[in-house]
Amino acid sequence: MDVRTNTSSILFRGATGIAAAENVLSTLVSLKNRTSFLAFSRPCCCKQATTAVATTSSTWCLLQLADCRRTRGVRGLTSAQREQQGGTMVRFEAQSKDFVGRSAKCASEEEEDLETRMKMEENAASTTEAITSASSSSLIMQETLERIRTAGIIACLRSESPEQAVDAGRAALDGGINVLEVTMTTPGASKVIMKLVHEYSSALIGAGTVLTLQEAGIAKEAGARFLLSPVAIQETVTAHSNGHVLFIPGAMTPSEVLSAFNWGAAAVKIYPVCLLGGVQFVRALKKPFPHIPLIASSGIGLDMVESYISAGATAVVLSDSIFMKSAMDKHDYHQIRQQATIAASKCAVAATKVALAGKQGS
C-alpha cells in the first residue's frame, strides 16, 4: 500500500479489499493530529463496488472498497440485499465525487500556500543576505578610508613603463608609504598593481585616474583596494556605493562635491586643488561640508602637507614630491625611497596632530 503525505493530509493508494480498508481505518484513527485523510482502493476482479464513509473525532475519510465474491462479508447476500447494496453505492457515489473534489481542492490550496510560504522565506533570506552584504561592504570601505586618514597621504605613481613603475613603487613602499595608487595611464597598470599587491600585502594598493566602469573593473580584478578619479560620474559612483572597494571621485565645485556625496561617495577628491585656491579652498569647503571627507590633490609640496590637513583635508595626494621627475628619469630609486620616508613621516605627524586636537575639542 502506497502512502503519500503533505502538511495536512494523507493519501492511501492501492488499499484493496475490506481487510485492507480496515487497516486504513486503523491507521487513520491513530493519526488524529492530521486535518484530513483520503483513502481509496484499486478496483479488483469484480465490477461491483460499495462505498462507505467513516468518521473519527478529528478526521474524515472516504473509503472505496473493492467488492468481489471472494471478499469477506459479500458471500451469501440475497438479491434484495444486493439491490439495497447497489442503491447504497449509488447514494454514496455522489458523496464520493464531492469528497474527492474537495480533497483535491484542499491539496491544491495547500500546495499553493506552501509555495507562497517558500517564496516568502526565500525573499526574506535574500533581503537579509543583501543587508548583511551591504553592511559588510560599508565596514570594509570605512576601514579603507580610516587607513587613508591615519596615513594622511596617498602616494600617486605614474610611469612610462611597467618595469619602472614596479621598481618605483617598491622604493616608495620600502620607504614607509602605506597607501599607494598606480594611475591607469601607466602602461600595464593592472599588472603593476597585481605585482605590488602580491609583494606588499599589508599595504593599501589602489588605482588612480579611473575614468570608466571598465577601467574600474580591470583595477579591481588586479587587486586594487581603492579607486581614485579626477571626475565624478554618477553611474560609476553609484556602482561602487555598496561595494567592497572604496571609490573616490574628483570634484571642483561645491555642487559637484555634494552631488558626488549624495550619489554614494564615501569621500571626494578636490582636483586640481592648487588651481582652485589651495589650502584656503579646502578650508572654505569644510564649512558647509564638515561631514564629507575631502582628499586634496595636485600640486602639493611636502612643506604644504600639514597646512592642508589642518585645514580639514582627510589626506593629501602626493606625486612629484615623492616620484620626482629627475629621480624617475635616472632610475634613482634610492632617492625616491628617501622622499617617501620624509613624506610618510610628515603626513603621519600632521594627521596625528589633527586627531588629537579633535579629541581635545570634543
Residues annotated catalytic, as ranges: 181, 269
Nearest to 313 by CA among 274, 345, 285, 337: 285
User: Which cell goes with 251?
Assistant: 570634484
The DSSP bridge pattern shows strands 60-66 and 226-228 to be unpaired
Residue whose C-alpha cell is 620626482: 324
CA nearest neighbour of 178 among 219, 147, 223:
147
Report which secondary-structure segment, H or E, holds 91: helix 79-151
Could you identify the residue written with the cell 632610475? Answer: 331
Q: How far is residue 270's CA from residue 253's CA, in Å, rounded to a whole number? A: 9
- Tell me how crowded residue 69 is: count the other CB atoms within 10 A of its CB: 10
According to DSSP, the β-strands at 294-297 and 315-318 are: parallel
Strands 49-55 and 60-66: antiparallel
Give the contacts of 208 (CB within 8 A, at least 6 positions apart). 156, 158, 181, 182, 183, 184, 227, 228, 229
Distance from the Cα of residue 264 to its chain's centroid: 17
Return the SS3 of 36.
strand
Within 13 Å, how many C-alpha atoms sit on residue 324's CB side?
A: 16
The CA distance from 267 to 292, in Å, is 6
DSSP bridge pairs for 228: 248
Q: Which residue type, as a one-letter code, is found at position 56?
A: T
Q: In 3D, which of 228, 227, 162, 152 has the Cα closest to residue 196?
A: 162
Q: Helix (H, G, I), strand (E, B), or coil: what is residue 283?
A: helix
